[in-house]
Amino acid sequence: MKKAVILLSGGLDSATVLAIAQAEGRACYALSFRYGQRHAAELAAASHIASALGAVQHLTLDLPLGSWGGSALTDNLEVPKDRSAQDLSAEIPITYVPARNTVFLSLALAWAEVLRATEIWIGVNALDYSGYPDCRPEFIKAFEEVARLGTRTGVEQSESIVIRAPLQFMSKADIIRAGLRLGVDFSWTHSCYDPPAPELHCGRCDACLLRKKGFDEAGVPDPTQYAE
């Protein structure tokens, strides 16, 4: 049974990624981070998802990304609300956390090497996404090269660690349909950047707007409790 490290944020995308990896028969090691995000409600969601979907192990690690701020998610900056689809695609928003996916992938790589896992799965998406540079396919390809060249596995074994990003070219609606087919209950998941209460989604940040639009376009009921 192939081992895989799954980056699990507790959101809709990474829950679906875990379900896909399980369906492909992987032994899944889920990895989450307490990195100073204001929406730490997603970590409780990640634990629930990991156990509900049958991950072999789930680790939540502390990371010092809050040491330098630089993002509305880790700093005292306002999370943008009610942005239009046009706004969403115009520029890199203030919710971007500098180098976050590079940091997350690097720790997943370290764990994968120790586990002798051959895959890292990540829920990046290049269609219905917030415009973060570290969600783009070319970034994922570049990191795979780092994984090949910077590890024992890449040097000593024929098989180096690959990055699987199955949602890369799917719409949010397609991701929701795929998750539902594989038994994901999206009421377990948390997307909101600025939850007014742990169980609530604000309904107005970029993540909430993309989530709403996804359920809408998929034509399935949205189980999320939105404040507005």
Residue 67 within binding range of its own copies, rule CB under 8 A: yes
Closer residue to its own copies, CB minimum distance, 133 or 198: 133
Q: How many binding residues for its own copies (CB under 8 A)? A: 47
68 binds its own copies (CB under 8 A): yes
Q: Quote the least distance from Cβ 108 to its own copies, whole Å.
A: 9
Which H, E and C letters describe the chain, residue by residue? Answer: CCEEEEECCCCHHHHHHHHHHHHCCCEEEEEEEECCCCCCHHHHHHHHHHHHHCCCEEEEEECHHHHCCCCCCCCCCCCCECCCHHHHHHCCCCCCCCCHHHHHHHHHHHHHHHHCCCEEECCCCCCCCCCCHHHCHHHHHHHHHHHHHCCHHHHHCCCCCEEECCCCCCCHHHHHHHHHHCCCCHHHCCCCCCCCCCCCECCCEHHHHHHHHHHHHHCCCCCCCECC
> Residue 129 interacts with its own copies (CB under 8 A)?
no
149 binds its own copies (CB under 8 A): yes
Interaction between residue 90 and its own copies (CB under 8 A): no
Give contact residues for its own copies (rule: CB under 8 A).
59, 61-65, 67-70, 91-92, 96-103, 105-107, 109-111, 113-115, 133-134, 136, 138-139, 142-143, 145-152, 154-156
